[in-house]
Amino acid sequence: MYRSHVLVCGGTGCTSSNSPKIIENFEKEIKEKGLEEEVKVIRTGCFGLCALGPVVVVYPEGCFYSEVKPEDVSEIVEEHLLKGRIVQRLLYDETKTKDEVKPLKETDFYKKQKRVALRNCGVINPEDINEYIAYDGYQALAKCLTELTPDQVIQIVKDSGLRGRGGGGFPTGLKWSFTAANQADQKYVVCNADEGDPGAFMDRSVLEGDPHCIIEAMTICGYATGATEGYIYVRAEYPIAVKRLEIAIQQAKEMGLLGKDIFGSGFDFDLHVKLGAGAFVCGEETALMTSIEGNRGEPRPRPPYPAVKGLFGKPTTENNVETFANIPTIIREGAEYFASMGTEKSKGTKVFALGGKIKNTGLVEIPMGTTLREIIEEIGGGIPNGKKFKAAQTGGPSGGCIPMSLIDTPIDYDNLTAIGCMMGSGGLIVMDEDNCMVDIAKFFLNFTVDESCGKCTPCRVGTRRLLEMLDKITSGNGTLEDLDKLEELCYYIKENSLCGLGQTAPNPVLATLKFFRDEYVAHVVDKKCPAGVCKDLLQYKIIADKCKGCTACARKCPVGAISGTVKNPHTIDTNKCIKCGACIATCKFGAIIKE
């Protein structure tokens, strides 16, 4: 028995901030101090609070050390692990109290969260199957194979109210039942881990922190639907996730939890990892299956749906990582447990990647129905630098924005749809008053133009025409008639595109037109960008009364657009100015403005 456990985040974010070196230093220092029989170092998945990484948590005290550097390790070992004295300077501020360490679950970031899909992330070593089993791992699979019929498993999933977490929100149990009802000599289960939304990293974190839960869930799905083979389609840009998946699959096979005659039930199931090249369109289920088959990732017309004719022309069930991550808990704890969380039509929890203009960037899992205000102001810690919240983009390039006027909207499938947004896979990008909403629409549309597979004309050509119109507006050449044309083209693309990428590509434009039309009007009528973002509509100006003539801005200007003598007000030649913003960043007197 170890008296202390040191958990170090081994997710992508903390790994990029040198957490492997932190682990190496811990192991070295612990050995040098002769503590290797008393203290165990564990590489875990993501803890969620990515803004404070690298994260180190020491148990049994539960000390949450944040922004740890490799050189801090010796102090933690010497003071905390050897002498029993907590290193106060490294503690997460919200856990500091006068007499003891405040439990993480009582902090603003964690107290409103409910971890189901993320229950083991940051808790176990994802590369050790024994730790997963110690936390009730594979109990759900054993229950299915020894106590339940396939129909009973599907009924439990239906009763739970679980809906697909990949974006569309289709009832998971119903989808499984469609595949189960089709007879075939071969059926498949596919896990969509092709997470392509800008700023989204929910699925990656689950695969990195708890890969066995996906293996267990896919095997359960195989049993319920009559499939004996599965594919996990994961983007090659996720090397840590891929490595841990492969380790987990091998461990499961060695323990007889994957492969032939699982639990002596006579049921066989095998899994393969298939790497994707990062094409956003491969997040669409039929394009994903086409890619697995070795062809260019392009969507297929539906019907026939994958439950009838999917991978290799056989009945197939496809769900994304987060959807599968809920399955073991639903089977183990019961449908009622999962259905007790969330709202009437959106049961359970939802994982969000919280990013953008927010203090606590990271990964959060909240009950459906939690309001956007709670996410932004409490869990997220508010907008930094005293700025005001302006909007939140949900669903990435396929979603829409929620303005300040709707910040008290409960987040679930139906509420978001009602205001013209969508849940999407779970990216949540927060924007403040310095963001231009026309520019935001252009950013997401530029992404979908690049990612269109080109198979259908409405998407291939239509999105490019939309982007050209937005470029025209942000350059000051737009007209009010262009706004009407923009909206008309959006609806045409939505109604005529072949797959979900094209059908949802106009959403950011439609949402910003709906909630921030005044900004569009300002761009085309006043020829100004209210947020001061669109360069073609900006001019930099020096306020003479504030300028001290220090020459700092002139020395910093890369094109020599600023002139003036020492101790006298300077001026900017607008014909030379490239609007890089270097002068504003340099001026200490607030003498330079954008207008």
Residues 198 and 284 occupy one common structural domain: yes
Dump pLDDT digits (tens) for 194-245: 988 888 899 999 999 999 999 999 999 999 999 999 999 999 999 999 999 9
pLDDT reported for residue 423: 83
> Is the domain of 306 the same as that of 371?
no
86 with 104: CB under 8 angstroms? no
Are 423 and 448 found together in one domain?
A: no
Is 516 domain-assigned? yes
Same domain assignment for residues 585 and 572: yes
Question: Quick check: 42 and 28 in contact, CB under 8 A?
Answer: no
Q: Is residue 83 part of a domain?
A: yes
Given CA atoms 256, 262, 267, 270 in this order, what sign does their dihedral have?
Answer: negative
Residue 315: inside a domain: yes
Instruction: Evaluate whether residue 118 is within a structural domain.
Output: no
Query: For residues 63 and 27, is the Cβ–Cβ distance under 8 A?
Result: no
Closest Cα to residue 529, out of 487, 474, 466, 491? 474
CATH number for position 198? 3.40.50.11540
3-state secondary structure of 236: coil
Residue type, 164: G
Contact 460, 454 (CB under 8 A): yes
Three-state DSSP at 517 gives helix
326 with 388, same domain: the answer is: no
Q: What local confidence, expressed as pLDDT, does residue 500 receive?
A: 86
Whose tokens are 């992404």? That residue is 447
Same-domain pairing of 353 and 414? yes
Give the torsion sign (CA, 8, 12, 17, 18): positive
Per the structure, the count of domains in the chain is 5
The span from the CA of 230 to the CA of 232, in Å, is 7
Q: For residue 494, what is the domain's CATH number?
A: 1.20.1440.230
Q: What integer pLDDT is reported at residue 48 of this predicted model? A: 95
- Residue 101 pLDDT: 87
**582 shares its domain with 497:** no
Let me know whether 363 and 444 are in one domain.
no
Q: What is the DSSP letter of 375?
A: I
pLDDT reported for residue 97: 79
Does a structural domain hold residue 117? Answer: no
- In this structure, the dihedral spanned by the alpha carbons of residues 340, 346, 348 and 354, taken in order and rounded to 10 degrees, is -140
Domain boundary residue, one of 314, 339, 364: 339
Instruction: Please check whether residues 293 and 163 belong to one and the same domain.
Output: yes
Q: Is residue 533 part of a domain?
A: no
Looking at residue 422, what is its pLDDT? 82
Domain final residue, candidates 277, 307, 339:
339
* Residues 458 and 556 occupy one common structural domain: no
The pTM of this model reads: 0.93
Let me know if residue 122 belongs to a domain: no
Residues 149 and 8 occupy one common structural domain: no
CA–CA–CA angle 173, 175, 181 (5° rounding): 100
Number of DSSP helices (H) and strands (E) in the chain, helices first? 25, 17
CATH code assigned at 94? 3.40.30.10
* Short-list 153, 160, 141, 117, CA closest to 219: 141
Task: Evaluate whether 48 touches 64 at the Cβ level (below 8 Å).
Answer: no
Q: Of 378, 402, 432, which residue sits at a domain end? A: 432
Extract the residue ranges of the chain whose pLDDT is less than 70: none
CATH number where 559 lies: 3.30.70.20
Alpha carbon distance 351, 280 (integer Å): 20
Domain that holds residue 474: 437-526
592: which strand partners?
Answer: 542
pLDDT value of position 102:
87
Domain presence at residue 123: no
pLDDT at 228: 98
What CA–CA distance (Å, rounded) separates 474 from 299?
32
Shared domain for 296 and 309, answered yes or no, is: yes
